[in-house]
Amino acid sequence: MSRKKVIGILSMAYGTPTAVEEVLPYYTHIRRGRPPEPQQLHDLIARYDAIGGLSPLNEITGRQVVGLEQMLTELEPNAEYRVYIGMKHWHPYIEETVKQMHDDGITEAIGVVWAPHYSAMSVGSYIEYAEKAREKWGGPAKISYVKDWHLQPLFLASTARRVQAALDEIPAELREQTPVVFTAHSLPARITQMGDPYPQQIEESARAVAESIGHANWFTGWQSAGRTPEPWLGPDILDVIREQAAQGVKSLVICPFGFVSDHLEVLYDVDIEAKQLADELGIQLVRAASPNDEEEFLRAVATAVLEQADKD
């Protein structure tokens, strides 16, 4: 009996600290080795405290990895897929994971980031980390990459179902005029001069989801802009809420579909900060649920991985 072909899957995520004492080195890594100011560190820890102490991101990513491996085995039983996780800003770092894959004898791999939309400054940076590690350790011999999956039909269907469920929480007489705001992580506005596809991909998947549920009242917004002097993509979600309140809007759905799991940017930025502002302004705000390790969502990612495998 012939042995199944073994393909490594390098799944990459942002990463998050697992204990309070790890917040400082984590934040320092995000800042490229520059420690945060004491007030910045205090503010970040306070946000973690507000959502229960620490982010559930690592735990959810772990479940996503297990689910992705199971889904790949189900969809393609003739190959053996080994799914690894590499983090951009915490252990196991992408470099550590690529070394582990090489040590495990993985020669052929596919890389995928737990983010559906491509930007050179986001997904592109993960790929750059992985390629530098591959060259450093001398393997795996080949890693091909899923650069984006923002129009993957199952991803769109999963998102549409969760948006519709959020809309269903709005009183029926307000539903049609309730705006749905699709949000993603902001990036420096200069990407638009670089021809980066990120803003366009956000718009494309938002339009596809809205059209699939027949909801014409939608637009895009941005979250989590960096605290730097240069301009970032906008409008920020808090500004959106203020603008909608000024126009007399009484209900709003936010779908943070640029993020694929519950973590700080969702649980604090939307569920606490945005919700608090909406309450103050008399707006009913409902957030569409995160996909986390939902089966249809994992099938979408697995399908995108297999489509990449077919190209190789």
Per residue in 137-186, pLDDT (tens digit) is 999 999 999 999 999 999 999 999 999 999 999 999 999 999 999 999 99
DSSP state of 183: E
Distance CA 120, CA 191 (A): 8
- Locate 178 and state its tokens: 């309730």
Q: Are 178 and 167 in contact (CB under 8 A)?
A: yes
Is the pLDDT assigned to residue 65 strictly greater than 80? Answer: yes
Q: Which two tokens stand for residue 134?
A: 């591959």
Q: Are residues 280 and 298 in the same domain?
A: no
Residue 251's contacts (CB-CB under 8 Å, 6 or more residues apart) are 170, 171, 174, 178, 283, 284, 285, 286
Task: Find where tokens 């718009």 sit.
Answer: 203
Bridge partner list, 286: 253
Length of the chain: 312
Dump pLDDT digits (tens) for 264-284.
999 999 999 999 999 999 999
Residue 120 has pLDDT above 90, yes or no: yes
List binding-site positions for Fe(2+). 185, 265
Q: Do 124 and 190 share a domain, yes or no?
A: no
Q: What domain count does the chain have?
A: 2
Residue 1 has pLDDT above 60, yes or no: no
Contact 155, 204 (CB under 8 A): no
What per-residue confidence (pLDDT) applies to 110? 98
**Residue 92: pLDDT above 90?**
yes
- Chain centroid, CA 254 distance in Å: 15
For residues 90 and 15, the answer to whether their CB atoms sit within 8 Å is yes
- In sequence order, what are the residues at sequence separation of 6 or more whose Cβ sits closer than 8 angstroms to the Cβ of residue 253? 163, 166, 167, 170, 178, 179, 180, 181, 285, 286, 287, 288
Average pLDDT rounded to a whole number, residues 98-102: 98
CA nearest neighbour of 261 among 9, 15, 75 = 15
186 backbone dihedrals φ, ψ, rounded to 5°: -70, 155
Instruction: Looking at the structure, tell me whether residues 76 and 186 fall in a common domain.
Output: no
Q: What is the mean pLDDT of the chain?
A: 96
Q: Please report, in range form, the residues annotated as the binding site.
A: 14, 31, 47-48, 55, 126, 185, 265
The answer to whether residues 164 and 283 belong to one domain is: yes
Mean pLDDT score, 97-106: 98
pTM as predicted = 0.95
Model confidence pLDDT, tens digit, residues 2-59: 567 899 999 999 999 999 999 999 999 999 999 999 999 999 999 999 999 999 999 9
Instruction: Give me the pLDDT at residue 3, please.
Output: 66
Q: Both 212 and 176 in a single domain?
A: yes
Cis peptide before 256 (omega within 30 of 0): no
Residue 29 identity (one-letter amino acid) = H
pLDDT on residue 226: 84
* Closest among 48, 12, 268, 37 to 146, alpha carbons compared: 12
Tell me the average pLDDT across 193-205.
97
Question: Does the pLDDT at position 199 exceed 70?
Answer: yes
pLDDT of residue 286 exceeding 90, the answer is yes
Largest CA distance in the chain: 69
Does residue 248 sit in the same domain as residue 298?
A: no
CATH of the domain at 263: 3.40.50.1400
Q: Assess whether 11 and 118 both reside in one domain.
A: yes
What does the block give as tokens for 228?
């730097």
Instruction: Assess whether 157 and 144 both reside in one domain.
Output: no
Q: Same domain for 12 and 133?
A: yes
243-267: pLDDT as tens digits: 999 999 999 999 999 999 999 999 9
Confidence band for 228, pLDDT divided at 50, 70 and 90: confident
Contact assessment for residue 302 and residue 310, using Cβ atoms and an 8 Å cutoff? no
Q: From the annotation, which residues make up the binding site for Fe-coproporphyrin III?
A: 14, 31, 47-48, 55, 126
Element (H, E) at 84: strand 79-87
Assess whether 306 and 274 both reside in one domain: no
DSSP 271: I
Domain holding 134, by residue range, is 5-149+294-311
Query: Alpha helices, DSSP H only, in 260-294?
Result: 264-267, 275-280
- Structure confidence at residue 298 (pLDDT): 98
Whether residues 298 and 265 fall in one domain = no
pLDDT at 41: 96
| Residue 242 CB partners (closer than 8 Å, separation 6+) | 277, 281
* Percent over 90 (pLDDT), the chain: 95
Do 131 and 174 lie in a common domain?
A: no
pLDDT at 296: 98
Confidence (pLDDT) at 5: 81
